Amino acid sequence: GKINEGPPFSGSLFYKNIPYGNSSIELKVELNSVEKANFFSGKRVDIFTLEYSPPCNSNIKKNSYGGITLS
């Protein structure tokens, strides 16, 4: 599980050093309310994602859909 870095921002949480293939990525988790972001903030979570097409217009950002649960 991971713990977010910094305070929630407008319903979003940020996680660093997420294993991805042979490297690691930073991940922004967008939740549908500030209250949900506050609930998960500072707690160890498991993050599940699936990448989907089309990718964003940037070569360093990708779209994914998934979920977040308490570890």
Q: 3-state DSSP call for residue 34?
A: helix
Residue 47 lies in a domain: yes
Residue 55 lies in a domain: yes
Residue 38 lies in a domain: yes
Distance CA 32, CA 19 (A): 25
User: What is the number of helices (H) and of strands (E) in the chain?
Assistant: 1, 4
The pLDDT, as a whole number, for residue 5 is 76
* Structural domain harbouring 62: 12-70
The pLDDT, as a whole number, for residue 18 is 86
The pLDDT, as a whole number, for residue 55 is 61
Contact 47, 2 (CB under 8 A): yes
pLDDT in tens, 3-59: 887 776 778 899 989 888 898 888 888 888 989 999 999 999 998 888 877 666 666
Q: How many domains does the chain divide into?
A: 1
The pLDDT, as a whole number, for residue 41 is 92
Residue 7 lies in a domain: no
